Structure 1
């Protein structure tokens, strides 16, 4: 057997012997973690995203935060998804975005295709489960140019770009 062939045979043998050990490694993982996190198959690793939810969230990001950087748009997406999870708001993305008196851009036209494409990418990632760690659980936001009456009632969590974010589950004490 030539030197390259014997080397290849030895590497193949090592891989064959190590493979059962490598594939068995998850059996020794912390069982508490496996109880909390369901096992995913390769096909289920990326959650399916509704086209209507993607469209609603993309439009909201475009019209509410297209002048912000990616972090500002992710923060607005986070607020919308926090609302979906909150008992006082509609249970769907389109329900939240179309809720009366919340987002005022209806009937507006998308004029900047590049900005909309960026909003779609951010919306897609958010709907697929990107971490929500920017706003401290905020369910409201506004730009610095306005000061809505509710902003004095809720706890402000952060400012990102020109937007201020608030949590509605913690009311501020009135003096």
Structure 2
């Protein structure tokens, strides 16, 4: 079986095994927070209020703030895609906080949030990403870096996009080395 098919088979199996647990999720409702979007009527708002874990929201918001605060919203959405692509990938931790806090993966050191407006924007982007916004900016990227650095791994992985001041790579397809 090819690597993408093998990965797809594992993901399908994981989904099949976790669906019964998801159906039983109301027991864990105290760890969830309702996210609301202003879309007009209250009925429209009620239809677009998925549950988002407050822990995942905080971890993703902080990662976007510290990693991509200077980027436009598209650049921040692309970084959120990478983090969520990693959560879905079998070689990375299975939670947003696990991915964000994985040793040696992100350059920021958690610090004090000084720009409240920038953090609010990062939080809105994080909410949308965790609520299932389409991931169509990075073509499945699981890595990124700025042009100021050239990590060794960047020669081995397929480059998928450049958005703002970040270059994105997919790790599932290795490039031939000469």
- TM bucket, shorter chain: 0.7 to 0.9
The structure that has the greater radius of gyration is: 1
Q: Judge conservation of contact 2:66–2:110 (CA < 8 Å) in 1.
A: no
Q: Judge conservation of contact 2:68–2:75 (CA < 8 Å) in 1.
A: yes
- Superposition pairs for residues 1-175 of structure 1, below 5 Å? 46-175=49-178
TM-score, L = length of structure 1: 0.74
Deviation string for 1:74-132 (max 9, x for gaps)? 00000000000000000000000000001232331111000000000000000000000
* Structural RMSD (CA): 1.4
Q: Judge conservation of contact 2:85–2:142 (CA < 8 Å) in 1.
A: yes
Deviation at 1:47, TM superposition (A): 2.5
Count of aligned residue pairs for this structure pair: 134
| Stretches (4+) displaced over 6 A | none
Deviation at 1:45, TM superposition (A): 5.3
- 1:121 and 1:75 map into 2 onto residues whose CA distance is 14
TM-score, L = length of structure 2: 0.72
